[in-house]
Amino acid sequence: MKIVLKTLFAIALLLGGTISSAWAADVMLYVTRHGKTMFNTVERAQGWSDTPLTPAGVAVAEQLGRGLQPLTFIAAWSSDAGRARETAQLVMKTWKNPPLLQEKKGLREVCFGLYEGDLNKNMITAAAHQAGYSSDAALMEAYSAGKIDIAGIIDAIKRAEASGSPALEGMKSTVQAESAQQVAKRMVESMTDIARQAQQQGGGNVLVVSHGLAISSLLQALGDKGSNQQLKNASVSLLRYTDSGRFVIESVNDMRYVERGL
């Protein structure tokens, strides 16, 4: 074993590097959903539209920050939505050496088009009918049971938006509602870019603040086979990006860090 290590060390020196730069270290991505907002509280669709955090949303973001405080982070990212930016700032507020917060448009929530700001019930009911279910409750029950996945729901919302909303009579589709493929593509590309930048820094922990459906789309695209679940505000889904350029899902919807910060 010692001979092998000496040989590898010699190779690294010949290549003009060191043992630490001969292999890229793993990157640990702490992907969290933003704190609770005004639209979350009043059950309105909030994709590319934005509302500020409520007092409860501020509190849970601060709790998450205290729970993550023992760790060292080399980078921090959020979507360009105010609720994600505010959450990230609150999380890092008490850290001794917080990294510079950077923003990435690709981390945004799903765009709901015509349904932005409408009641969740109106949007999900219309999506349920598109997907062959009788009501919003039936659709969400099917989701929890694994009979329809997050991609199916997002695509049903897009189809419903394209046909117009009965709750907004006379208003035409904005043609901006996103498909599941569009969301998954931009999320995977954004996370890969973030992970590679961190890897070039030598690896380490990275905070990423995004949104519920966007994170769920990312997890599904990366092969999450777990039970379907709605991500909680300030929950952490931990991803490991290996030196072979592969994402490994370590945990999903984890509230332990928030609990540690109570």
Asked whether residue 1 is assigned to any structural domain, the reply reads no
Same-domain status, 201 and 106: yes
Q: How far apart are CA 107 and CA 91, in angstroms?
A: 17
Show the low-confidence residues of the chain (pLDDT under 50): 1-23
Q: How far apart are CA 17 and CA 262, in angstroms?
A: 44
Look at residue 155 in the predicted model and tell me its pLDDT.
98
Write down the residue that tokens 């219309």 correspond to: 126
Asked whether residue 146 is assigned to any structural domain, the reply reads yes
From 177, 208, 233, the end of a domain falls on 177
Same-domain status, 99 and 124: no
Look at residue 5 in the predicted model and tell me its pLDDT.
37
- Give the residue from 209, 236, 217 showing the smallest Cα distance to 83: 209
3-state secondary structure of 17: coil
Asked whether residue 160 is assigned to any structural domain, the reply reads yes
- Helix, strand and coil content of the chain, in percent to the nearest 5, comes to 45, 15, 35
14-40 residues labelled b (16+ CB within 10 A) or e (exposed) = eeeeeeeeeebbbbbbbbbbbbbbebb
Same-domain status, 106 and 147: no
Asked whether residue 15 is assigned to any structural domain, the reply reads no
From 153, 177, 201, the end of a domain falls on 177
Distances (CA, A) of 24 to 18, 194, 207: 11, 14, 19
Same-domain status, 33 and 45: yes
On whether the CB atoms of residues 222 and 90 are closer than 8 A, the answer is no
* Tokens read off for 253: 């919807």
Asked whether residue 9 is assigned to any structural domain, the reply reads no
- Give the residue from 219, 49, 217, 214 showing the smallest Cα distance to 120: 49
The range of the structural domain enclosing residue 152 comes to 113-177
Same-domain status, 190 and 255: yes
Total domains in the fold of the chain: 2
Look at residue 7 in the predicted model and tell me its pLDDT.
38
Look at residue 167 in the predicted model and tell me its pLDDT.
64
Look at residue 3 in the predicted model and tell me its pLDDT.
41
Same-domain status, 215 and 192: yes
pTM: 0.89
Which residue type is seen at 20? S
Lay out the sheet containing 247-254: strands in order across. Answer: 101-103, 73-78, 204-210, 27-33, 236-241, 247-254
